[in-house]
Amino acid sequence: MHLRVRINKRLDNFTLDVDWAMANEFTVLFGHSGAGKSLTLRMIAGLMTPDSGYIELNGVPLFDSQECPLVKPGAVKNAQRVNVRPQDRCIGFVFQDLALFPHMSVAQNIAYAGKRKDRERVAALIESFHLKGLEGKLPSEISGGQRQRVAIARAIMCNPQCLLMDEPFSSLDNTLRLQMRALIKDVRNQLNIPVVFITHDIYEAYTMADKLIVYNNGKSVQTGTPDEILSTPRNSSPQEEEEGKRKKGAAPPPFRTPCKGSWTP
């Protein structure tokens, strides 16, 4: 299992030009706000179209600006490109603001991703993500951590081949963040699929990543394990971030805090 991304997109005052690949691992995209991390995820999910390049998941092209004979059903193909529609890409996406449907209950939000006869799967996910008793509640009636769990359960409901997470913990306090980090790692280990996770928290990046991809001004400037990148940074951003936080007196959190209950499928 692997994900290969080489895309170019020109916007007003910003150009995204990235090239990276990942195996079946937990990859963190790290960089300042506006570096192009979220844009990359949206293009992998098919929510935006690159100007050129290609995106390939497990050997299947999801986007290719050159003509390609391998076209999945549902792909929009003209003389020049392959562009599989987002609904046909089989990629789970957890949005920064979670994007839970406010008019649907917890159970309906999770079930939305599946077929009508998937009640058992919904029940299993509700059980696994410790959402029992909250099935009938609206997203506005549950806590931030619970909403987070609903969003992750919903994203994996349709058995995605890859999971994309766009700063999903940005609105959580430190305690909840620690719990959610552990939960995400458990989910990744159980599903055994590539996970791409965005953060601009260096501690989060360091503790969670199998592979770290550093973004700067629309480019992927360095790729490697967290240790490799922190020991030989080609771009000073991660160290600057760390230094900056230390100067402000922020205590580094422990690397891993166990979740209240581990996730099981």
Partner 1 sequence: MMLSDAAIFSLRLSFLVAVTATFFIVLVSLPVAYVLARKRFPGKELLDIVLTMPLVLPPTVTGYYLVVFFGRNGVIGKAIYALTGWTIMFTWYAAVIASFVVSLPLMLKTARSAIESVDRDLIDASYTLGHGEFYTALKIVIPLSKKGIFAGMALSFTRALGEFGATLMLAGDLPGKTETMPLAIYSCVNSGNWPEANLMALVFVVLSAILLFIAGKFTRKTI
Q: Which residues bind partner 1 (CB under 8 A)?
A: 42, 45-47, 85-93, 95, 97, 99, 101-103, 112-113, 154-155, 157-158
Q: How far is the CB of 198 from partner 1 (least distance, A)?
A: 15
Of 46 and 226, CB closest to partner 1: 46
Q: Annotate 236-254 with b (16+ C-beta within 10 A) or e (fewer).
A: ebbeebbeeeeeeeeeebe
Helices and strands per DSSP (H, E), number in the chain: 8, 12
- Closest distance between partner 1 and the C-beta of residue 90, in Å? 8
* Shortest Cβ 164–partner 1 spacing (Å): 8
In the complex with partner 1, which residue's Cβ is closer, 68 or 158? 158
Whichever of 9 and 42 has its CB closer to partner 1, that residue is 42
Alpha-carbon span 159 to 140, nearest angstrom: 26
CB nearer partner 1, residue 46 or residue 238: 46
CB-nearer residue toward partner 1: 162 or 214: 162
Ordered alpha helix ranges (H), the chain: 37-45, 106-111, 119-128, 144-156, 174-191, 202-208, 226-231, 237-247
Q: Which residue has the tokens 């008019």?
A: 103
Q: Which of 172, 161, 255, 246 lies closest to 207, judged by CA?
A: 255
CB under 8 Å, gap of 24 or more: what pairs does 114-123 form?
114/157, 114/158, 118/157, 121/157, 122/157
Nearest approach, Cβ of residue 86 and partner 1 (Å)? 4
CB atoms within 10 A of CB 192: 8
Assign residue 41 a region (left: φ > 0; alpha: ψ between -120 and 50; beta: otherwise). Answer: alpha
108 vs 217 by CB, closer to partner 1: 108
CA distance 247 to 17: 33
Tell me the closest approach of the beta carbon of residue 32 to partner 1, in angstroms. 22
Report the residue number, 38 or 237, with the smaller CB distance to partner 1. 38
Structure tokens at 126: 């509700």
| Distance of closest approach, residue 167 Cβ to partner 1, in angstroms | 13
Shortest CB 98 distance to partner 1, Å: 9
